[in-house]
Amino acid sequence: MDWGSTVASRLSTMMIAMVAALTFLLIHLGWPAQAQDRPGPPSFPAPDRPVAGIVSPEYSDEPTRDGHGEADRVLDRLSIKPPLRVADIGAGLGYYTVRLARRLGPGAAIYATDVKAEYLDQLRTRLAREGITGVTLILGRPRDPRLPPDSVDVAILSHMYHEIENPYEFLYRLQPSLAPGARVAIIDMDRPTKQHGTPPGLLRCELAAVGYRQLDLVSLAPADGYLGVFARPDALPPAGAIRACRQ
């Protein structure tokens, strides 16, 4: 008997049987159709304007900003007081984070997010040095702040909106973290995005495209820029229905 030929023949028969069984499953159970029917990730439009690069963990030196009353005016305008839960998105070295902690006191729910791990490391060191506890640091993604669901009453984005890789997707993914009645506060300069600012009309258009409604717009003079405040949308539009705004 030719044992080699016999073994080869049996292996060939087994392979044919396995292929036949797999073909039966694919045809009768509809596996390809099921895979095609699975929804993919939402598709968002790209911003129709330049996106500024991240160049520094802080907008300006803090004594100058405090000398112009920036944080006090912003926090007063937003009526920041306990028990509001606040997120400092794009926190950098924590200009707003530490001032929120001082205003809200021990036990406050404060989140500080950034897409740069090295900035968060510096902020963590600062908080420890200044004896500030209770701040939750979160490493976000360029298109997602990664905040917990229903965890924020006020989100503050200070001098960083123009650096967001895709503002439509970012705002879409921010919405689930905002509690009903929450507000989004954006501080920026009135100048083109490539010059590290956002014209107020463009800001209003981009937020409205995702369902956010403007509540307030005020100059921060003598501090730099303006404060725009927006209401959380109760419902989000389909990602495919969002249309990019032109600068």
CATH at residue 166? 3.40.50.150
Over the stretch 168-220, which tens digit does the pLDDT of each residue have?
Answer: 999 999 999 999 999 999 999 999 999 999 999 999 999 999 999 999 999 99
Q: Does one domain contain both 170 and 206?
A: yes
Average pLDDT estimate for 127-145: 97
In a domain, 57, yes or no: no
Q: Does one domain contain both 19 and 140?
A: no
Over the stretch 8-61, which tens digit does the pLDDT of each residue have?
Answer: 445 455 554 554 544 443 334 343 333 334 445 679 999 999 999 999 999 999
Q: pTM higher than 0.85, yes or no?
A: no
Q: What is the pLDDT of residue 29?
A: 37
Q: Does one domain contain both 68 and 32?
A: no
β-bridge partners, 188: 226
Q: What is the pLDDT of residue 90?
A: 98
Q: What is the pLDDT of residue 127?
A: 98
Is the pLDDT at 234 greater than 80? The verdict is yes
In a domain, 17, yes or no: yes
In a domain, 18, yes or no: yes
Tokens of 92: 């950098």
Q: Does one domain contain both 66 and 126?
A: yes
In a domain, 43, yes or no: no
Q: What is the pLDDT of residue 40?
A: 55
In a domain, 56, yes or no: no
DSSP assignments along 197-229, one per residue: ---HHHHHHHHHHTT-EEEEEEE-TTSSSEEEE
In a domain, 55, yes or no: no
Q: Does one domain contain both 10 and 92?
A: no
Q: What is the pLDDT of residue 42?
A: 77
Q: Which domain holds residue 174?
A: 62-241
Closest to 154 measured CA to CA, from 187, 130, 127: 187
Q: Count up the domains in the chain and report the number.
A: 2
Average pLDDT estimate for 241-246: 96
In a domain, 164, yes or no: yes
Q: Does one domain contain both 82 and 177?
A: yes
Average pLDDT, rounded, for the chain: 88
Q: What is the pLDDT of residue 18?
A: 52
Q: Does one domain contain both 103 and 204?
A: yes
Closest to 81 measured CA to CA, from 153, 130, 150: 153
Q: What is the pLDDT of residue 159?
A: 97
Q: Does one domain contain both 72 and 25?
A: no
Higher pLDDT, 19 or 73: 73
Non-local CB neighbours of 49 within 8 Å, separated by 6+ positions: 192, 193, 194, 202, 245, 246, 247
Q: Does one domain contain both 119 and 15?
A: no
In a domain, 51, yes or no: no
Non-local CB neighbours of 141 within 8 Å, separated by 6+ positions: 115
